[in-house]
Amino acid sequence: MQKGKSIIFKKSYNLFQNNINKKSIFIFALAVFAIGSVTPGSFAYAENIQQFSDSITLETSSSTSTEQNNLDAITDIEFRTVTDFHTYLPNTQLRFDVSCNELAGEFAIGYNTFLQKSNGDSADVNDVRNFIFLQKGSSETGALIDAVNTGSNTLKLTAEVTCAKLLPESLPTVPYTPTEFVVITGENQATVSWEEPIFDGNSIISKYELSAMPDPKTSSSFDVFVDTEDLEFTFDGLVNGITYKFQVNAVNEIGSGIKSEILTGTTFEVAVPTPTPTPNPLPIPTSNEKITLCHNDKVTLYLPSQAIDTHLNNHGDYLGECTENFSISNKEHKEADRLAKQEAKKLQLESDKAQREADRLAQQEADKAQKQADRLSQQEADKAQKQADRLSQQEAKRIQLEEKQAKKLTN
């Protein structure tokens, strides 16, 4: 049945192309581009929208009643913008494409490119002059960019493609983009998590496709592509200090779904705190002679050796005369103890927080597993009910036929 629905969808899509006036597509595309106007602080290369309307063949043709019924199933058109960006280092050439999802029935109606400095400031005239496009192609699926930065400034090029999609969504298609996409970076790694799409394309999601791509690209970092069936994944072995672009999309039996928005994160090296050295105490004499001792960093006392231990333990004094150096040393020792206690308390709080987060994630995983199990159970129950209803209807028809045959024989 799903294969049949896919054929109907393709017929409807072709009918949409064959029956909508070319002028209407052009006006609609122009309206979309007027809404998505140039953002402040960027230099925009506005593309010729007419080339997209020219790339779609729109000819008036007659339709059979069956084809017209398929066309009537299309109730709306959905639009979305696909965005990608790349950082061009000085004297660097990069080639990339930004595409709509053909499996979802999407087609491109136009695109724009925006040039900025790496810090987000507006590109100046020299930047635009030094940024050379070797190729800027467009088609029904999207845009292809091939450019080189011949200047001395690092520049950021953003490409936006406007995609259109025919509805309704009851037709078999690929999944929507996953929701609640989050990236947390660490030392040589990044953990990404997400939730299931709000629409699975009327087909069970089999896996998720993930990508981590460095920006700008360097000789020590590489693009990483992985698949997983979970709703969380950790990229290990990433290069510290590099900014990566992360994306995720769901996959069902129709194919790869719509990709999520691009999230960026920079890996970093965890700093190890340097321990504060503890001053070495002076040795305590054991004879009965009087010992010099500094009390409260102010008063120098001369006490019998047998009273030294008690005085040091109870008052926090130290051996020797009260001098500025001794006073400073004692204060530094106390400050080191205070900082050590603060650090221990901070580590304990972080440990408690990590434990609470682990418990929360474990509960989330348990809830997700339960929801998945309930959904699969409901699907199996619905399937069994449909099968039972079908068999019941077949049995009822068989009984009716037998009754009719019995009446004919009786007559």
Element (H, E) at 261: none
The single-letter code of the amino acid at 238 is: L
Q: Is the residue at 296 inside a domain?
A: no
Q: Is the peptide bond before 216 cis (omega within 30 degrees of 0)?
A: yes
CA of residue 135 relative to chain centroid, distance: 29
Domain check: are 121 and 210 in the same one?
A: no
Q: Is the peptide bond before 214 cis (omega within 30 degrees of 0)?
A: no
Domain check: are 148 and 226 in the same one?
A: no
- Cα gap 197→213, rounded to integer Å: 23
Average pLDDT, the chain: 76
Residue 31 has pLDDT above 60, yes or no: no
pLDDT at residue number 214: 93
CATH at residue 215? 2.60.40.10
Q: What is the pLDDT of residues 348-374, one digit of tens each?
A: 888 888 898 899 899 989 988 999 999
Domain check: are 163 and 212 in the same one?
A: no
Q: Is the residue at 116 inside a domain?
A: yes
Of 243 and 13, the structure prediction assigns the larger pLDDT to: 243
The single-letter code of the amino acid at 69 is: N
Q: Which of 171, 189, 215 is the last residue of a domain?
A: 171
pLDDT at residue number 339: 81
Domain check: are 402 and 254 in the same one?
A: no
Q: Is the residue at 313 inside a domain?
A: no
- Cα gap 205→199, rounded to integer Å: 10
In terms of C-beta density within 10 A (0-12 exposed, 13-18 middle, 19 or more buried), how is residue 346 classed? exposed
Domain check: are 35 and 127 in the same one?
A: yes
Closest-CA residue to 122 (of 40, 216, 46): 40
Domain check: are 224 and 257 in the same one?
A: yes
Q: Which of 137, 155, 171 is the last residue of a domain?
A: 171
Tokens of 22: 């070319």
**Cα dihedral across residues 280, 281, 286, 288: positive or negative:** positive
Residue 146 has pLDDT above 60, yes or no: yes
**Domain containing residue 376:** 323-411
Q: Which of 171, 201, 230 is the last residue of a domain?
A: 171
pLDDT at residue number 404: 85
Domain check: are 105 and 201 in the same one?
A: no
pLDDT at residue number 324: 54
pLDDT band at 284 (very low <50, low <70, confident <90, very high): low
pLDDT at residue number 251: 95
Closest-CA residue to 141 (of 110, 115, 114, 184): 110
- Cα gap 289→306, rounded to integer Å: 9
CB 146 within 8 A of CB 135: yes
pLDDT at residue number 326: 46
Domain check: are 142 and 178 in the same one?
A: no
What per-residue string of b and e applies to 103-123 under the rule 16 or more CB within 10 Å gives b?
bbbbbbbbbbbbbbbeeeeeb
Q: Is the residue at 54 inside a domain?
A: yes
Contacts of 267 (CB under 8 A, 6+ apart): 185, 186, 187, 188, 189, 190, 238, 239, 240, 241, 242, 244
Residues counted in the chain: 411
Tokens of 405: 């045959």
Q: Is the residue at 226 inside a domain?
A: yes
Closest-CA residue to 97 (of 83, 116, 79, 81): 83
Least confident piece of the model among 33-47, 120-134, 327-341, 356-370? 33-47
Domain check: are 166 and 49 in the same one?
A: yes
Domain check: are 133 and 183 in the same one?
A: no
Least confident piece of the model among 228-237, 273-282, 389-398? 273-282
CA of residue 274 relative to chain centroid, distance: 35
CB 246 within 8 A of CB 265: yes
Q: Is the residue at 73 inside a domain?
A: yes
CA of residue 292 relative to chain centroid, distance: 68
Domain check: are 156 and 186 in the same one?
A: no
Q: Is the residue at 304 inside a domain?
A: no
- Cα gap 209→224, rounded to integer Å: 11
Q: Is the residue at 282 inside a domain?
A: no
Number of domains in the chain: 3
Residue 332 has pLDDT above 70, yes or no: no
Domain check: are 329 and 191 in the same one?
A: no
Q: What is the pLDDT of residues 80-100, one digit of tens each?
A: 899 999 999 999 999 999 999
pLDDT band at 287 (very low <50, low <70, confident <90, very high): low
- Cα gap 155→123, rounded to integer Å: 8
pLDDT at residue number 120: 85
In terms of C-beta density within 10 A (0-12 exposed, 13-18 middle, 19 or more buried), how is residue 74 classed? middle
pLDDT at residue number 51: 42
Helix (H, G, I), strand (E, B) or coil at 50: helix
Tally the C-alpha atoms within 13 A of residue 370's C-alpha that lie toward its C-beta: 6
